Amino acid sequence: MSGHMRDWRFIATLLVALFHALRLYAPADVRLKPGEVWIEIPEVQSRVEPNSFVILPARAINYLQLHIGKVAGNVAYGSIHTKINTEAANTIMTLIGTSDGLLGRLDLGKHAGFTLTPGRNSVEVEYKDAYERVHYASFLIQIGGGLPTSRFQVAGAPASLKGERYAVVIGISKYQNAGSGITNLRYADRDAQAFRDFIQSPQGGKLPTDHVMALFNEDATVQNVRSAFYTFLTKARPQDMVVLYLAGHGAPDPNDSRNLYFLTYDTQLNDMGGTAFPMWQLQDVLTRALKTKHVIAFNDSCHAYGVSGERNGIVKQNNLVNQYLEKSVVESGGVIISSSDVSELSQEDEKWGGGHGVFTYYLLKGLEGSGDSNKDGTVTAAEIYGYVERGVREATGGQQNPRAHIPETAQNLSLSGFATPAALHRYPQVIASSTRPH
């Protein structure tokens, strides 16, 4: 074999090795190019760009069209995955090649569960290029001017369960790595402290000290948060109630925006995977760690953009923390009330009780008795949502719209232990989450 042939084979081998190395060490999530991917809504002649949203009139939408342009490069059909409102949607997608790239038609009526509902709906798409790099984008489609008013009925006698109550209350306003891309909050710790004080008061049920684990600011490290979820909460028996209140930032990982986290005190922006609590592990907590299955979650997770994109070269993303937290609670059979619609900012200000988040301000007022709409001495899940929804929406001029999932069987669930003095001292499990987005 000639020397030239050996040289060429060596060069070819080296190039192949380099190609595979580039694939191995490529970033998990790459920045999208202009015109790379978008959603078309032909029925209303509208288009949604990546990581943005569009407001449509209140009407039925039958199909969406996903466009992946040629600028995306060589995209394999099998690497394309879509979700609608967190549910895998490839089963309703027909994909074809066009002169401009790839076109996927999403037939929203093909299977149940994909209809766009009033308020904000999310569409997610991810695919891989020739270097196995993941390209990801989310799109928000708002149907109508906002969420409809409460559809839950306040009727019948309040339902209650016997048992003890356990609570994990977490509030983080001050972050160890604030200034390096994470912003501090103003009243998250104060909200959590007020909630803790209330559930330990006679009016709020007087939870014993050893039944409450409270973590504020520097105490709310990733290790302590994990211990609270996976160790402390295992004390609760099937008949007991668990109260979980989270106040802080919830955000996507800037290195891979498919992954969502609750930011703990010691979270590092460049290592969320190792220093923040993954939202998907909450479902593990609810379905495996906890023995009790009665769940109601109060989620206040979208206060301010806690990751400074301008400072860190991060493209602002839609924040789907609310949706995925809701998914975890709903799939465990529970109730969840969120402070705002998807990727909608949850506000905090001095004008609410001298310094609170608007959601927690109305939540506490409602549980103290103002939410008892039928004046029977008990505040139910449906009543507290109706009260918080109206109060928050009016106080923010419609800029913040709470949302909820309350199964019919839980609408009369008594939250009396958090409410009026005349309430029964019997409680279901309650999870109250108040995380704030980046």
At 120, which CATH number?
2.60.40
Q: What average pLDDT does range 54-66 have in this prediction?
A: 94
Distance of CA 148 to CAs 108, 120, 142, 393, 404, Å? 21, 11, 12, 11, 11
**End-to-end C-alpha distance for the chain, whole angstroms:** 61
What pLDDT shows up at residue 145?
72
Same domain, residue pair 124 and 177: no
What pLDDT shows up at residue 140?
95
Same domain, residue pair 283 and 395: yes
Instruction: Name the pLDDT band for 5 (thresholds 50, 70, 90).
Output: low
Read off the pLDDT of residues 13-41 as tens digits, 9 standing for 90 and up. Answer: 554 444 444 444 444 557 788 889 999 99
Same domain, residue pair 246 and 127: no
Same domain, residue pair 384 and 241: yes
Q: What average pLDDT does range 146-155 have in this prediction?
A: 62
Residue with tokens 């909450």: 282
Instruction: Name the pLDDT band for 316 (thresholds 50, 70, 90).
Output: low
Confirm whether 353 is domain-assigned.
yes
Confirm whether 214 is domain-assigned.
yes
Least confident range from 23-32, 153-162, 265-274, 328-337: namely 23-32
What pLDDT shows up at residue 435?
54
% the chain with pLDDT above 70: 81
Q: Which of 143, 176, 206 is the last residue of a domain?
A: 143
pTM of the model: 0.82
Angstrom distance (rounded) from CA 234 to CA 291:
7
Same domain, residue pair 222 and 110: no
Please count the structural domains in the chain: 2
Least confident range from 191-195, 349-353, 421-425: namely 421-425
Instruction: Name the pLDDT band for 2 (thresholds 50, 70, 90).
Output: low
Same domain, residue pair 101 and 185: no
Same domain, residue pair 257 and 203: yes
Q: List the CATH number of the domain containing 256.
A: 3.40.50.1460
Range(s) of the domain holding residue 229: 165-437
Read off the pLDDT of residues 393-417 as tens digits, 9 standing for 90 and up. Answer: 999 999 999 988 888 877 887 775 4
Q: What average pLDDT does range 234-238 have in this prediction?
A: 92
Same domain, residue pair 138 and 173: no
Confirm whether 285 is domain-assigned.
yes
What pLDDT shows up at residue 204?
79
Same domain, residue pair 185 and 113: no
For residue 78, the tally of other CB atoms under 10 A from its CB is 9
Q: What average pLDDT does range 78-101 have in this prediction?
A: 95
Angstrom distance (rounded) from CA 433 to CA 285:
14
Confirm whether 173 is domain-assigned.
yes
Q: Say whether pLDDT at 423 is over 80.
A: no
Angstrom distance (rounded) from CA 157 to CA 365:
22
Q: What average pLDDT does range 120-148 have in this prediction?
A: 89
Average confidence score pLDDT of the chain: 83
Q: What average pLDDT does range 62-73 have in this prediction?
A: 93
Same domain, residue pair 122 and 198: no
Confirm whether 121 is domain-assigned.
yes
Same domain, residue pair 233 and 310: yes
- Give burial (CB, 10 Å; 0-12/13-18/19+) of 272: buried
